[in-house]
Structure 1
Amino acid sequence: MTISAVIFDLDGVIIDTEQVWEDVRRSYVASYGKSFLPDSQDRMMGMSTGEWSTHLAEEVGVPRTPAQVADDVLGQMALRYKSDLPLIPGAVETVKRLGERFTLGLASSSARVLIDQVLATAGLTDAFKVTMSTEEVPRGKPAPDVYLAVCDKLGVTPEDCAAIEDSSNGLRSAAAAGMAVIAVPHGVYPPAADALAGAALVIDRLPDLTAEAVAALR
């Protein structure tokens, strides 16, 4: 087996938005006099749009339907992205460098409208052969659905792929799909030990990742 494709996560790997997501969703919930549950932040990392909006509506108690919650929060996120896109230093260059050797895909928990906006702003729209949101598959991360769907559209098997992830649910999703998992742990939101244990390679910074290191995973 050899690695022929690399599938990137978006949030926490290419853009550093976990804090933005937390700030926007906490402020939104607070505007209705509600608060996150103790495990809300960890649970929502990797969830699809339908899943986290349902969590905020039905478990946290925001008095809006899940669809309304999603529209509200995504609208606020899009405004933030337009004014200030928090690209991780070296991420764009790393994507382009790995794209010279591997076919690239993207498997994100962000909504399609946000994925397209980020890639357009970052100049990466043409870098990925396939991009998918977890809102386009039955289950979000940690289920493997989005990674398996990207593999299918790329015409490769999971064994042919490396996945680059930062969060617990993302790492679990890629591992469940049967990929060689590369972990880039987030400094503020580090992954759980069990999720990190499933990674074949752990790096401190995305720019440190070389094509040779990826190829050596198989």
Structure 2
Amino acid sequence: MTSTVPALGVRQSDGSALQAVLLDMDGTLVDTEGFWWDAEVEVFARLGHRLDEAWRQVVVGGPMSRSAGFLIEATGADVTLDELVVLLNDGFEDRISRTLPLMPGAKRLLSELAANRIPTALVSASHRRIIDRVLRSLGASNFALTVAGDEVERTKPFPDPYLLAAAGLGADPTRCAVIEDTATGVASAEAAGCRVVAVPSVAPIAPAAGRTVVSSLEEVDLDFLRARMRL
């Protein structure tokens, strides 16, 4: 699966045309945000620490280095950042090897985008090893490219992942629709200039200019995304 790619030349903005759809993974297409928290709770329990449930909203949707770093500092656990990242990825991968539920509407939406040949990218803060495992269920053929959190110098909430994905698809970021489930991901997409459809998973996300909030992907189809470009 293609990850980082050379810029192909950004398309010129064409009125209200939708040029590409860029999708987050955890909590957006696959119901796995809880898996990450469960893995974090389990790993820190083995290290002799109990996580505060309030920390869940702090770590959700962020890059692994930020989330892991926060939990080390909050607990005082005797573990390095590199060691913890490996432990968390191992714990998460073990969970998705047993079950990997898709979010309601995800399969239908991906099939519709593919059938209409809409350029589509998967843009995640998760590491490449996790993305490649999840793609077995999502279908690698549904995405022209994927961007992993450990393949960019600055991942979400910085705009870099979405700018890279848009460039890789030859799209103008302002003509891209992004689907995200966390405030961190929304911030990344909006900083890149994209139109955002937020489907909150763990914490609420407020509507804003250029942003639409829905309760489920069941509310989202190609006509809906095309209409976001005209707002």
TM-score (norm 1): 0.89
The 1-side partners of 2:152 and 2:54 are apart by 24
- Aligned counterpart in structure 2 of residue 179 of structure 1, from 194, 200, 205: 194
Give the AA of the match of 1:167. T
- Aligned counterpart in structure 2 of residue 159 of structure 1, from 174, 182, 187: 174
1:163/1:182 contact within 8 Å kept: yes
1:190 matched to which residue of 2? 203
Does residue 10 in structure 1 map to residue 25 in structure 2? Answer: yes
2:216 matched to which residue of 1? 205
The 2-side partners of 1:203 and 1:177 are apart by 21
Moved more, 200-209 or 111-120: 200-209
Matching of residues 1-218 of structure 1 within 5 Å? 1=15, 2-36=17-51, 40-101=55-116, 102-122=118-138, 124-186=139-201, 189-193=202-206, 196-198=207-209, 200-218=211-229
1:48/1:139 contact within 8 Å kept: no
**Deviation of 1:50 (Å):** 2.5
Give the AA of the match of 2:219. D
1:71-117, Cα deviation, whole Å (9 max, x unpaired): 11111111111111121133112111123331101111111111111
2:57/2:203 contact within 8 Å kept: no
The 2-side partners of 1:37 and 1:204 are apart by 27
2:124/2:148 contact within 8 Å kept: yes
2:159/2:191 contact within 8 Å kept: yes
Local SS of the residue matching 2:35: helix
Give the AA of the match of 2:127. A
1:7/1:164 contact within 8 Å kept: yes
**Deviation of 1:41 (Å):** 2.0
The 1-side partners of 2:226 and 2:104 are apart by 23
The 2-side partners of 1:192 and 1:63 are apart by 34
The 2-side partners of 1:164 and 1:53 are apart by 25
1:118-150, Cα deviation, whole Å (9 max, x unpaired): 11133x111101101122112232221211111
Tell me how large the CA RMSD over aligned residues is: 1.8
1:15/1:87 contact within 8 Å kept: yes
Runs of 5+ consecutive residues of structure 1 not aligned to the other structure: none
Give the AA of the match of 2:221. T
1:106/1:131 contact within 8 Å kept: yes
**Deviation of 1:199 (Å):** 5.1
The 2-side partners of 1:39 and 1:161 are apart by 33
The 2-side partners of 1:203 and 1:179 are apart by 17
Moved more, 56-65 or 173-182: 56-65
Runs of 5+ consecutive residues of structure 2 not aligned to the other structure: 1-14
**Deviation of 1:152 (Å):** 1.8
2:198/2:205 contact within 8 Å kept: no
Local SS of the residue matching 1:126: helix
